[in-house]
Amino acid sequence: MTSKDGYSWTKAQGLQAGVPSIGVIEPPSNVKSADTVYDVIVVGAGYCGLTAARDASLAGLKVLLLEARDRIGGRSWSSNIEGYPYEMGGTWVFWGQANVWREIARYGMQDELEISYDFSRGINKYLLSSPQGTQTFTHEEEDALMQSSLAKLVNVDGCLGKTVVPFPHSGVLTPEARKYDHMSVADRLAEIKNDLTPNERLCAESFVLLCSGGTLETTSFYEFLHWWALSGYSYEGCIDYLVKYKFRGGQSSFAINFFKEALASGNLTYAFNSPVATIQHGGNGVQITTRAGQTYKSTKMICAIPLNVLNDVAFDPPLAPGRKAAATTGHVNQCVKVHAEISDRDLRSFTGISYPHNGLIYGFGDGETPAGNTHVVAFGGQHNHFHPEENLEHTKAAFQGFAPMNIERLVFHNWSKDEFAKGAWFFPAPGLLSTHLKDMRARESNIVFACSDWALGWRSFIDGAIEEGTRAAITVRADFAGRAKL
């Protein structure tokens, strides 16, 4: 099945909107009656909504899952092009992420992971490209350079940030944490400007921008410290947790298991292609109306809609002021993630930074396609932001910013223009978490708000989405706890 989402380009076919994915659900709806009053309606079929819908339906609740798109997975989905899964959004997982690993074990997928890097052959180099030219390093030198630059960045306490974020899964921001949340990474870099070598500065800045998809000024220094803490306070940990292990069959091969298990419970009704327009809620339950005018009713609701698009839905009564303000501020991540299939086999083993002049900042060999070509993935963001489909020559030139390469195919999803995401993974500007983390997590009457964007642990990750979906289902089950069938 082909999703409406995503783009691909080849010389022969030109630019095409929509790519095939095993995450597309057919038939798009199994709603039988418009009059059913559901126990719970879950809006959003990303990992959070899928987890919530599955857990609630397995617990015996009558669940309706409503999703705007034609597919599951939200910001994590894979396209299957000529037998190869290009990851359009969320990709890498790690066994240190407890919620993700619980689910990987649940579906027996422990042996379905592979490593993105292959340093066994080819050029096997780290290419550090700046307006001054390209320097070449071994991967061992790359690790040493990255570790020293990030250690200087995070070392606010002589303990590599350990005293600032001692419990990375806690929802409490201590006064110390708040201080750093009100600082941007640009502020922190100004403090250590005399300690960094020029190369360390290039590495630190580009790695932070890879994480936030924003600019140095709009990236909360605390949230970067939080990622660092979650990754075991080391650069090696960052690589293991953030960019190393992915599903051989793509993310959609994981997500589909959640959906199938929920469906097998016999308690799941669903409707895709159903963007929600209005949500009325109060003492008597919830009434939801889609853009097409279809109305659904339930006792409870789990709202798994991302922060940056929450204000596009009309709530009656309106959203609580704190949540509304958080959604108005939004998060800053406008990551541009693009895949290229290239015929240069030696580049399978390159990693590279091209900064600050280039549109794509961070890239590396990510796989080998069935045709035997190299698959390169690269990331840009708000810094030198561009829309890959608008000027393909610019997009291809951004890849050449790492090294000369012969591009045969491009694949990507424009998350900035996506009306159901308006950005990539959550990354906050200074102050947002200190001011509004609690507001984003609070429930309102019969609605539980759940999303990776305000998870406590791996906030912004697939793990955080599953953490939140689990919490939401537990909360709603507790509401029904007195009922006989539970």
Exposure letters 353-386 (e unless 16+ CB within 10 A, then b)? bbbbebbbbbbbbbbebeeebbbbbbbbbbbbeb
Q: Which of 126, 180, 315, 425 binds ligand FAD (CB under 6 A)?
A: 425
Please tell me whether residue 113 binds ligand FAD under the rule CB under 6 A.
no
Contact between 367 and ligand FAD by CB under 6 A: the answer reads no
Contact assessment for residue 54 and residue 262, using Cβ atoms and an 8 Å cutoff:
yes
362 contacts ligand FAD (rule: CB under 6 A): no
The pair of three-digit structure tokens given for residue 209, joined into one six-digit string: 């921008």
What backbone torsions phi and psi does residue 288 show, to the nearest 5 degrees?
-120, 135
Q: Which residues contact 156 (CB under 8 A, 6 or more apart)?
A: 164, 180, 188, 225
Binding mask 68-97 for ligand FAD (x = CB under 6 A): xx----xxx------------xxxx-----
If one counts every other C-beta atom within 10 angstroms of the C-beta of residue 198, the result is 9
CB 106 within 8 A of CB 54: no
Of 150-158, 198-206, 265-273, 298-306, the window that binds ligand FAD (rule: CB under 6 A) is 298-306
| Separation between Cα atoms, residue 278 and residue 323, nearest integer Å | 17
Q: Which two tokens stand for residue 218?
A: 């709009």
Angstrom distance (rounded) from CA 308 to CA 421: 6
Cβ proximity to ligand FAD: between 181 and 463 the closer is: 463
Smallest gap from residue 293 Cβ to ligand FAD (A)? 14
CB-CB contact of 217 with 182 (8 Å): no
From residue 263 to residue 292, the character string flagging contacts with ligand FAD as x (rule: CB under 6 A) and all else as - is ------------xx----------------
Binding mask 162-181 for ligand FAD (x = CB under 6 A): --------------------
Pick from 22, 302, 304, 440 the residue near ligand FAD by CB under 6 A: 304
Contact between 462 and ligand FAD by CB under 6 A: the answer reads: yes
Among 421, 432, 472, 473, binds ligand FAD (CB under 6 A): 421
Q: How far is the CB of 166 from ligand FAD (least distance, A)?
A: 23
Asked whether residue 276 is marked as a ligand-binding residue, the answer is yes
Q: Considering the complex, state which of residue 306 and residue 430 has its C-beta at the smaller distance from ligand FAD.
A: 306
The DSSP secondary-structure symbol of 29 reads B
Query: Which three-class secondary structure state does DSSP give residue 337?
Result: strand
Q: Determine which helix (DSSP H) or strand (DSSP E) holds 262, and give its type and residue range.
A: helix 251-264
Q: Which helix (H) or strand (E) holds 127?
A: strand 126-130
- Does position 31 bind ligand FAD by CB under 6 A? no
Does 207 belong to an annotated binding site?
no
For residues 57 and 479, give the distance between their C-alpha atoms in angstroms, rounded to a whole number.
Answer: 14
Contact pick of 55, 67, 70, 103 for ligand FAD (by CB under 6 A): 67
Kindly state whether residue 262 participates in binding ligand FAD, applying the rule CB under 6 A.
no
The response to whether 350 counts as a known ligand-binding position is no
Q: Residue 362 Cβ, how far from ligand FAD at the closest point, in Å?
A: 12
The rounded distance, in Å, linking the Cα atoms of 95 and 97 is 5
Angle at 272 between CA 270 and CA 276, to 5 degrees: 95
Which of 7, 38, 228, 415 binds ligand FAD (CB under 6 A)? It is 415
Is 379 labelled as part of a ligand binding site? yes
Least gap, CB of 225 to ligand FAD (angstroms): 18
Q: How far is the CB of 45 from ligand FAD (least distance, A)?
A: 5
- Known binding positions for FAD: 67-68, 276
- Known binding positions for substrate: 379
Residues at the site binding ligand FAD, with contacts judged by CB under 6 A: 43-49, 66-69, 74-76, 89-92, 275-276, 304-306, 309, 313, 335, 337, 415, 420-421, 424-425, 451-452, 460-463, 465
